[in-house]
Amino acid sequence: MEGKKNLQVAILIFKGVTALDFVGPYDVLNFLPNVKVVFVSHTAGELYKDVGTFTIQATASFDQVPNPDIVVVPGGMGTDALMGDKTILQWLCKVHETSLYTTSVCSGSLLLGAAGLLNGLEATTHWNLLEFLTNFGAKPVKARVVRQGKIITAAGVSAGIDMALQLVALISDETTAKTVQLSMEYDPQPPFDCGSPEKAGPEIVSKAQLHMQAEMQQFAAELSK
């Protein structure tokens, strides 16, 4: 892990981001001594809230991060409101030109799509949003992580951890990725076997959809205040 080229990882943050979407990849990538993470948004120093009481501080504005090596776009209830945010979309297009890897978690891939980066490519997102990828010319794939050249998209929320570990193996090596996985004791033992719609069955799928719909409406109401 020593003597490697320094890498700047830019994590996009915004109002309504889901914390785990980016904290999973953050803690994985931050493990590497040659990685420096910047949390990028419109205003450096500003606090951005999720749909609860969690806040994350932007450490840089878009113009301060013109050439990140790795871009991570998390998802959350807030992505929908950003589909027309030209500053964000233009920044994504620009940084993708020179990035080593451009990645997303959950609905973050819809932002990559809106920026025109997924046209003709396979991609994934949260299971409940897969169909929307076609709006951007992407081919939806039900998979935990989808890699197409330097674009890597991950499924919903917790999938960012799996994606980031694969990314560490790419930018460093397998031994380092394994060392990270052990250090964060990532030996998952979910109490139930229902992490995908197929495993969970229609009753739980329906409950989850209703909940996410209610949360989205609540967030939209809050935004319009």
Tell me which residues in 7-36 interact with a copy of itself (CB under 8 A): 18-20, 23-24, 26-27, 30-31, 33, 36
Determine if 48 is a binding residue for a copy of itself (CB under 8 A). Answer: no
Among 84, 188, 224, 225, binds a copy of itself (CB under 8 A): 188
Question: CA-CA distance, 142 to 160, in Å (whole number)?
Answer: 15
For residue 154, the minimal CB distance to a copy of itself (Å) is 9
Contact 154, 20 (CB under 8 A): no
Contact 153, 121 (CB under 8 A): no
Among 5, 97, 192, 225, binds a copy of itself (CB under 8 A): 192
Q: Which is nearer to a copy of itself, 199 or 223 (CB)?
A: 199
Determine if 197 is a binding residue for a copy of itself (CB under 8 A). Answer: yes
Cα 135–Cα 197–Cα 177 angle in degrees, nearest 5: 85
Which 110-149 residues touch a copy of itself, going by CB under 8 A?
Answer: 126-127, 144-145
- Sequence-distant (6+) residues with CB within 8 A of 149 are none
Tokens of 212: 């996410």
For residue 79, the minimal CB distance to a copy of itself (Å) is 15
Q: Which is nearer to a copy of itself, 97 or 203 (CB)?
A: 203
Cα 24–Cα 27–Cα 30 angle in degrees, nearest 5: 140
Which 55-84 residues touch a copy of itself, going by CB under 8 A?
Answer: 55-57, 59
Q: Give the residue numbers marked as catalytic.
A: 106
* DSSP SS3 for 142: coil
Closest CA to 164 of 17, 30, 38: 30
Q: Which is nearer to a copy of itself, 3 or 52 (CB)?
A: 52
